[in-house]
Structure formats: structure tokens, C-alpha cells
A and B are shown apart, each in its own frame.
Chain A
Amino acid sequence: MAQENLTQESAASDLALIREMMEAGKRRVAFNGTHLIIWGGVLMVGFFAQFLAVVGRLPDTVLGIWGPVLAVGWGLEFFLFRGKAGPSEKNLPILAHATSWLAVGLGTMIYFGISLAFGTFEPKAITLISTALIGSAFFVTAAMTGVKWLNVVTAGWWGLMAYVAHQATFDAEMLLVMAVATGLLLSLPGFLMRRLAPAGE
């Protein structure tokens, strides 16, 4: 009988295995690292293009820059994830993670669409909205996965939000700051999360 082989040493070894596998189960949520890499990359290009527009190197059109950027982002998402299953409602960590990132996309897009339609678009407002939402999404992901370094990324986004909020004006340099931030605080965590994720995801 297996039970007769159970000693305190083997029980401790079993507990170590349990701990290791439970951590691995938690970390599987990290599969969405690819999404972060995609959006970090396209947003970095978008912010840099917007900076060039503001300083007169490109035509100054918000929709002309962000329309193609968003189309590329969603196009890559569709191309890379076509035919793959979405998050299951049975897996709470993945569902919470996916929903929080959906909230980032929807919240930002709703503001972008409505403010453009009514001519009330404010670069500072969309920056505050997106930094607050992205920081919150990382906060949720950190809590659901137990991956503690994600809290540093959360702090980075909320710190950026505080920095933007305290600025009296939203100048061209802020666009460069946002370009760097999306690279460092979206794409880089995306690469690191992919390294944590189980293969096959």
C-alpha cells in the first residue's frame, strides 16, 4: 500500500511538490504576455508618431495616426490568436486577468471614440484614463497570479498617472515619456510573463 510508505520525509517532499505545482497553476495566467508585447509595441510607435506630428514632422491628425495604430494592434491580435479558445469562466485567475485587460481596451476606446466624435478629445484625459486602467489591470494580474514583481509595474503605471496629473500642460515631451513607458511597462513585462508561462500556451 502506498500509505505504508508515507513517512514524515516523504510527506514534506509531497508538500514541496504541491507548493511547486500550485504556483505553476497560478502562473499559467501569464500566457497573455504576448498581448502586452503587441500593444506595448504598437502604442510605442503611436506615441512616437504623435510626438513627430506635434513637432511638425508628420501631419497633425489624431485619427490619422491612431486609426492605423489601433488597426495594426487589433489585426495582429486577430492574426496571432485566431482559432484559439478564449478564457474559460471556470478559471477565475484567467477570467479576472482577461476581464481587467478588456476593461483597459474598452474604457480607453470608448473615451477615444466619443471624445473624437464630439470634438472634446484631450490627450491628458486619455493618458490619465489609460494609465489608471493599465495600472489597475496589472494590480489585478499580480493579485490573481501571485507574481509579485507585477506590483512594481503597477506602481510604475500609477506613478506615471500621478506625474501626468500633476503637470499643468500636456506637452510634446509627455508623448515621448508615454512612448518609453509603453515599451518599459507593457512590452518588457510581456516578455517576462511569456518566460513564466507554461509552454504550449
Chain B
Amino acid sequence: MTDYDYRNIDDVIHSRVRLAIMSYLMTAKEADFTELKTALKVSDGNLSTHLTKLEGTGYVTQEKKFVGKKPQTSVQMTPEGEAAFKAYLEGLAAMIGPQQ
């Protein structure tokens, strides 16, 4: 065991789907809803629920726009989200310890 205090782990990010969303956006920075749904292999409703939760904490923003005649929801990671994700990663690394 390590000395890491697991109570510091961010509960919002610590969900499989939300963690996947944040990881994807960390490198892509911006993605549309359909692309995220395909990458994560989740349903519309499931993705929408998790995005709302992430948006509520200010980790992502959602922007609805029209591309041609089609509506498109664009999701972007905020600087707060990026900082929280990095802190989460550091927490995980500390949890695993130096052997990994």
C-alpha cells in the first residue's frame, strides 16, 4: 500500500465514462457528441448524463451549433477540467506507487 489519501480522488472524474470523456478531451481538446459516443461506445442518454455532470462542475463546456442544416453539439474541455484531470492523474499515480 502507498500513503496516498484516496479521499482526495475527484469523485466527478472517478467514473468510468466520465474518466474516458476527460481522457479523450485531454488530447483532442474538442469533440462533437457523435464522435464521443462512437469513441466511448455508449448510448446517447448515457453520454448526455455524464456530460451534464461534467458541465455542472465546470470541467467541460457544450456548445450547440448548426453545421449546414444539421445540429451539432461540440464538447470542449475547460482549463479547470484540465487542471482537475491532471490532479486526478497524479492521485492515481500516487495510489499505484513507484513500482509501476
Smallest beta-carbon distance A86→chain B, Å: 10
**B17: min CB distance to chain A, Å:** 10
What are the interface flags for B15-30 relative to A under an 8 Å C-beta threshold, 1 for contact and 0 otherwise? 1100110011111111
- Total interface residues on B, using CB and 8 Å? 41
* Interface bits B83-95 vs A (CB < 8 Å: 1, else 0): 0000001001101
Q: Which A residues, 67 to 97, have Cβ-Cβ distances below 8 Å to chain B?
A: 82-85, 88, 90-93
Docked-complex contact A6 and B27, CB < 8 angstroms: no
Contact B92 A14 (CB under 8 A): yes
Question: Which of A22-30, A98-106, A148-156, A158-166 lies at the interface?
Answer: A22-30
Among candidates B30, B38, B67, B89, residue contacting A198 with C-beta atoms closer than 8 Å: B38
Q: Is the CB of B95 within 8 A of A11?
A: yes
CB distance from B11 to the nearest CB of A (A): 6
Q: Which residues of B contact A129 (CB under 8 A)?
A: none
> Does B38 lie within 8 Å of A84, measured CB to CB?
no
Q: How many Å lie between the Cα of A193 and that of B4 in the bound state?
A: 41
Is there a chain B Cβ closer than 8 Å to A63's Cβ?
no
Determine the distance from Cα of A93 to Cα of B25 in the docked complex, in whole angstroms.
Answer: 12
Interfacial residues, chain A to chain B (CB-CB below 8 A): 1-4, 6, 8, 11-12, 14-15, 17-26, 28, 82-85, 88, 90-93, 198-201
Lowest 10 A-B CB distances belong to which pairs? A83-B68, A25-B27, A21-B23, A25-B28, A25-B24, A200-B34, A11-B95, A18-B23, A21-B24, A26-B27
**What would 9 more interface pairs be, CB under 8 Å, given A14-B14, A200-B34?**
A4-B6, A8-B2, A18-B23, A18-B89, A21-B23, A25-B28, A25-B39, A83-B69, A90-B76
